[in-house]
Structure 1
Amino acid sequence: MTLKLYAHPFSSYCQKVLIALYENETPFEYLTLDDAKNGADLAALWPIKKFPVLVDEGRAILEASIIIEHLGLHHPGPVRLIPEDPRAALEVRLMDRFFDNYVMTPMQKIVTDSLRLEQDRDPHGVSEARVMLDKAYGWLDRKLAGREWATGATFSLADCAAAPSLFYADWAHPMGDRLPRVQDYRRKLLALPSFARAVDEARPYRPYSPLGAPDRD
């Protein structure tokens, strides 16, 4: 049975899973959530209606990191995204959580707030999100010293998380010129064929970005 992925091309968490699928050339049916029927089917599978959701043999697999781990266990390909060594795997999972919690989450706070009516906005919360991103950028710049990828020499789940989080975070809160390692790493991720494909698939949706989409990307 073909894997089915309920996803939206412009979603950072969906892009995270798409990178994993494209890296291993895993066959799947892409059910985009522009289609009302796909949206209704997603709601029936997962009433919280967060995406992406992977369906494998009738079973709904939820949450981007879990989907990627599921693919590694049940549909492995040539690119192993979770190391076999448990100590190395812990570092990969740590960096995956770092990108989701301390880059993706504050970035989404800024974006979501911009969609609210003026009287409903949360300037204090947005200010805190920007402070968090500055801290995360600085920590990551130091962490990347001597590393080719997020956790060392090998591409992993952590890099699947890093690509869309750094891509969109720099739109919401530009990192500037003071963080050369993070900037170089972001450029390297954008040059990755699997992520470049996901970015290109999302280009038609850029006019809907509430913060705008810089021409540089």
Structure 2
Amino acid sequence: MSSSADERKGSATMTIQLYAHPFSSYCQKAKTALYEKGIAFEEKMLDGSEPNAGEFAALWPVGKFPVAVDDGQLVFEATGIIEHVEARFPDAPRLIPADPLAAAEVRMWDRFFDNYVAYPQQRLVYIAIGREHDDGGDRWRAALDTAYALLNERMRDREWVAGDFGLADCSAAPQLLYADWSHAIPETYAALRAYRARLLARPSYARALDEARPYRHFFPLGAPEGRD
């Protein structure tokens, strides 16, 4: 399987190979950034079939995706891939501000979504499929409740989480999608729910999300109707 986005006028020619699966939140995060910046890439589907699976295993024995290869250089982790393409293609639209303090804030919120939204959400999935055993997931739902409350307050007077749409929002889009599926964002959190809706409607993420739709039956907790 391959996907590509037209390069922006004036950008250098480049084709990145992205080893990924469309249903992975971290792969969606990386793809959103590539689509947002208009960078051409070839998606190497990791569905267990050869030759992509063999290539991926040889490239990255750790076995976690996404992984990108850019002109022979291995780039791993979604945030690492976004940092890489931002450095390679610093022209608009920027996903990490040029100002160091603004960039630090964006990077900080990127880590928030990966560590305090994605992590507890994934624990709920692992419990559902029997990979982890604890109190039934209460502590992870409580962790998401804490993150939701903080984010709802943060988003009361903001369109995006830190300045213009950027790295942190690329993380927020898939992480909030799956978090809400796993433990619903309360109806009373209007600001957070509106932010999630804006993320899902962003053309770059909407494209990545559409590519994931055929795989929704894989979600162990069930993909609820009307929350995508």
Match of residue 167 from structure 2: 157
TM-score (normalizing by structure 1): 0.94
3-state SS of paired residue (2:162) = coil
**Structure with greater helix share of residues:** 1
2:225 is the counterpart of 1:215: yes
**Contact map agreement 1:6 1:32 (CA 8 A) in 2:** yes
Cα distance in structure 1, aligned partners of 2:186 and 2:171: 21
2:46 is the counterpart of 1:33: yes
**Contact map agreement 1:10 1:202 (CA 8 A) in 2:** yes
**Contact map agreement 1:26 1:77 (CA 8 A) in 2:** no
Match of residue 58 from structure 1: 72
Match of residue 13 from structure 1: 26
**Gapped runs of 5+ residues in structure 1?**
none
Cα distance in structure 2, aligned partners of 1:128 and 1:40: 38
**What is the total number of aligned residue pairs between the two structures?**
213
Letter in 1 for 2:206: A
**Gapped runs of 5+ residues in structure 2?**
1-13
**Contact map agreement 2:161 2:169 (CA 8 A) in 1:** yes
2:142 is the counterpart of 1:137: no
1:183 to 153, 171, 193: 193
Cα distance in structure 2, aligned partners of 1:68 and 1:191: 20
Following superposition, which runs of at least 4 residues in structure 1 exceed 6 angstroms of deviation? Answer: none
Cα distance in structure 2, aligned partners of 1:128 and 1:36: 39
**Contact map agreement 1:5 1:53 (CA 8 A) in 2:** yes
Match of residue 203 from structure 2: 193
Letter in 1 for 2:29: K
Match of residue 73 from structure 1: 87
